[in-house]
């Protein structure tokens, strides 16, 4: 089985969409996918992720409204077996607690993610 390791550190909606789009595509192709969320990427793991529309996306506002939300894409990813890891060190640094994040995730450090990444066929960063 192919393995894909993704690092998500961007806290904007574009970063979340890129991360989840690639994670879902890889999982749909029967790859084992791990997403390591650190710094801004932790926003994607909030119970109800809320993002403001960036100025760059403003011209596409109507089309974006017809797309699945970050929460819906995240649910698809979970249904496809994508594993999400919340960076414990970043959570400690930013004062984020586990009860602020969605269920079905793992909290761990970079070494745990590296175990998956070192065996991955592809590693992607957003």
pLDDT for 55 = 86
For residues 44 and 58, what is the distance between their CA atoms, to the nearest angstrom?
20
For residues 112 and 116, what is the distance between their CA atoms, to the nearest angstrom?
7
The domain locations on the chain are 3-125
* Secondary structure element (H or E) that encloses residue 26, with its range: helix 13-28
Beta bridge partners of 107: 86
Written as six digits, the tokens of 11 are: 């806290």
pLDDT for 56 = 83
- pLDDT tens sequence for the chain (126 residues): 999 999 999 999 999 999 999 999 999 999 999 999 999 999 999 999 989 888 888 888 888 889 999 999 999 999 999 999 999 999 999 999 999 999 978 999 999 999 999 999 999 999
Token pair 């801004």 is at which residue? 40
The model's pTM is: 0.93
Burial of 69 (0-12, 13-18, 19+ CB in 10 A): middle
Whether the Cβ atoms of residue 109 and residue 49 lie closer than 8 Å to each other: no
pLDDT for 105 = 86
Domain 3-125, CATH: 3.40.1260.10
């Amino acid at each position: 089985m192919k393995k894909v390791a993704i690092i998500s550190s961007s806290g904007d909606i574009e970063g979340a969409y890129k991360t989840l789009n690639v994670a879902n595509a890889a999982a749909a192709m029967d790859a084992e996918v791990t997403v390591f969320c650190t710094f801004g990427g932790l926003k994607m793991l909030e119970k109800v992720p809320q993002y403001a529309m960036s100025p760059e996306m403003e011209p596409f506002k109507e089309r974006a409204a017809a797309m699945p939300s970050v929460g819906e894409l995240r649910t698809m990813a979970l249904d496809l077996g994508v594993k999400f890891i919340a960076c414990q060190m970043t959570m400690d640094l930013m004062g984020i607690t586990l009860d602020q994040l969605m269920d079905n995730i793992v909290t761990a450090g970079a070494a745990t993610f590296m175990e998956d990444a070192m065996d991955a066929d592809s590693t992607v960063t957003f």
